[in-house]
């Protein structure tokens, strides 16, 4: 009877068998890698804003304190984006004619708020509270990065649950002294290991229960 298959059929058969074993795992690996990629987490992504507000200029250049605009950060869950009035405290005097600031002036004139694009976004089922983090020695730049060097605001951390948990499991590594909370250039000192322990004691930060689901989800 005639030959059914060519010799390469063997190779095909074998590679198929191998693929059957390998592909599933390859798939999982790929999925995992994608989930962590900036494309998914939005890390380093910079968004267009109605007004190209530059933290680099206001914080890095003029040295404004974070709380000047984000006034709720010590008392409220949300740090708060400043009302148009806050911008106008200066800009009623400075750059009063620049086209760049037109939206701000309109906002004040028509009483219509400015629609900023949210940069650091958590899912609705995550109840993050700025004030408690500030009160417990977690500085702004720990999550928001060196805003004083950002022309347009960008997301500086992956903001994945794993990332949150890393700190909730070992907060000491990220704690800083009270006077450094709003220091956007703060870097953990060489001896953060024992500094952190001291600070944890000072702030009464205890990581035993920080990973309870109910800490962030309700």
Partner 1 sequence: MTPRAPSSERAHRAGAAAGDVDRRGALRLMASGVALALASCGRPPEEVVPYVDMPERLTPGVPLRFATALPLGGYARGVIVTSTEGRPIKVEGNPRHPASLGATDVFCEAAVLSLCDPDRLKVVRRGDEIATWSAFEAALLGQMEQERARHGAGLRILTNRVTSPTLLRQIDALLKALPEAKWHRYEPIDDDAPLAGAAQAFGRPLTALPRFADARVVLALDADPIGAGPGQIRFGHDLVRARQSHSAQEFLRLYAVEPAWTLTGAAADHRVALHHALVRNLALAVAHELGAPSPDTPLPPDAARFARAAAADLKARAGQGLVVAGRRQPAEVHALCHWINAQLRAPIDYIAPVDPSSMSHNDSLRALADDIASHKVQTLVIIGANPAYDAPGDLHFADALAAVPFSVRLGSHDDETATRCTWRLPQSHPLESWSDLRAHEGTASIVQPLIRPLYDSRTAHQMLALVGGAAAGASLDQVRATWTPQAGGDLGGWWRRTLQDGVVANSAGKPVTPPSAKLPQVQPAGTPNGLSLALAPDPSLWDGGEANNAWLQECPRPFEKQVWGNALHVSEIDARRLKLEDGDVVRVQANGRTIEAPVLVRAGQAADTLAATLGHGRTHAGAIGNGIGFDVYALRRSDAPSRWAVDGVTLAPAGRRQNLLLAQHHFRLDGEAEDLQPRLTLAELAQGKHAPNAPSANPPTLLPPESRDTYAWAMVIDTTACIGCNACVVACQAENNVPVVGPAEIAMGRDMHWLRVDTYEVHGRPGFSPIPCMHCEHAPCEPVCPVAASIHDSEGLNVQVYNRCVGTRFCESNCPYKVRRFNFFGYADGAEYANLGAECVRAVFNPDVTVRGRGVMEKCTYCVQRISRARRAAEKENRAIRDGEVVTACEAACPTRAISFGDRNDPKAAIQAQRAAPHAYALLGDLGTRPRTTYVARLRNPNPDLGEAQA
Partner 2 sequence: MTLAVPAQAPTSEHAGELERWTQPGARTYEDVNALVSAPLLDRDGWTWRAWWIGFAISLALTTAFAVCIFVVFSRGLGVWGVNSTVVWGFAIANYVWWIGIGNAGTLISAMLLLTRQKWRASTNRFAEAMTLFAAAIAGIFPIIHLGRPLYFYWLTPYPNTMTVWPQWRSALIWDFWAILSYILFSIIFWYVGLIPDLATLRDRARSRVARKVYGALALGWRGSLRHWHAYEILHLTLACLGVPLVVSLHSVVGMDFAASLMPGWQETIFPPYFVVGAMYSGFAMVVCLAALVRWGFRLQALITVEHFDVMAKIMLMASIVMGLSYASEWFTAWYQGDRAGRSLVVFEFTGSYSVMYWALLLCNVAAPQAFWFAAVRRSVPLVFLLAVVINIGMWLERILIIWNTLSHDYLPSSWRLYFPTLWDWLTMIGSLGLFALMFLVFVRLLPSVSMHEVRHLVAEETEP
Angle between helices 84-91 and 102-110 (to 10 degrees): 120
Binding flag, residue 204, partner 1 (CB under 8 A): yes
CB nearer to partner 1: give 22 or 165. 165
Binding flag, residue 198, partner 1 (CB under 8 A): no
Residues 50-109 that bind partner 2 (CB under 8 A): none
Largest CA distance in the chain: 97
Provide the terminal-to-terminal Cα distance of the chain, rounded to the nearest Å. Answer: 72
DSSP 95: S
Measured distance CA(191)–CA(171) in Å, rounded? 15
- The interface region with partner 2, picked from 28-36, 60-68, 91-99, 146-154 by CB under 8 A, is 28-36
Query: Which position among 60, 145, 158, 196 is part of the footprint of partner 2 (CB under 8 A)?
Result: 158
Unique residue bearing structure tokens 């500086």: 156
45: which 2 tokens?
């992504």
Q: Are 79 and 130 in contact (CB under 8 A)?
A: yes
CB nearer to partner 1: give 11 or 39. 39
- The interface region with partner 2, picked from 2-10, 46-54, 118-126, 196-204 by CB under 8 A, is 2-10
CB of 59 to partner 1, least distance (A): 18
Binding flag, residue 77, partner 1 (CB under 8 A): yes
The item of partner 2, partner 1, none sharing an interface with residue 62, based on CB under 5 to 8 Å by kind, is none
CA atoms within 13 A on the CB side of 173: 6
Measured distance CA(161)–CA(122) in Å, rounded? 10
Contacts for 88 with CB less than 8 Å, ≥ 6 apart: 104, 108
Binding flag, residue 4, partner 2 (CB under 8 A): yes
Q: Are 198 and 154 in contact (CB under 8 A)?
A: no
Query: Which position among 32, 33, 95, 116 is part of the footprint of partner 1 (CB under 8 A)?
Result: 116
Cβ atoms < 10 Å from Cβ of 157: 17
CB of 205 to partner 2, least distance (A): 21
- Which residues form the interface with partner 2 (CB under 8 A)? 1, 4-5, 9-10, 13, 28, 31-32, 35-36, 41, 158, 160-163, 165
- Which residues form the interface with partner 1 (CB under 8 A)? 35, 39-42, 47, 71-72, 75-78, 80-85, 107-108, 111-118, 121, 123-125, 127, 129, 131-132, 135-136, 158-160, 204, 208-209, 212-215, 217-218
């Amino acid at each position: 009877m005639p030959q059914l298959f060519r010799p390469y059929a063997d190779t095909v058969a074998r590679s198929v068998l191998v693929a059957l074993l390998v592909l599933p795992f390859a798939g999982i690996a790929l999925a995992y890698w994608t989930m962590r990629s900036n494309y998914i987490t939005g890390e380093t992504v910079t968004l267009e804003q109605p007004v190209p507000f530059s933290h680099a200029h206001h914080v890095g250049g003029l040295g404004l304190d974070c709380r000047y605009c984000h006034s709720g950060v010590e008392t409220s869950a949300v740090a708060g984006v400043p009302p148009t009035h806050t911008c106008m405290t200066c800009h009623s005097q400075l750059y009063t004619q620049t086209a760049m600031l037109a939206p701000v002036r309109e906002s004040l004139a028509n009483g219509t708020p400015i629609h900023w694009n949210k940069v650091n976004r958590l899912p609705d089922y995550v109840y993050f509270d700025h004030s408690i983090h500030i009160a417990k020695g977690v500085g702004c730049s720990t999550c928001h990065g060196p805003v004083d060097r950002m022309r347009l605001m960008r997301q500086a951390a992956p903001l994945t649950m794993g990332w949150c948990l890393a700190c909730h499991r070992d907060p000491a590594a990220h704690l800083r002294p009270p006077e450094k909370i709003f220091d956007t250039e703060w870097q953990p000192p060489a001896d953060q290991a024992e500094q952190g322990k001291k600070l944890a004691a000072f702030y009464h930060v205890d990581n035993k229960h920080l990973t309870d689901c109910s800490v962030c989800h309700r």
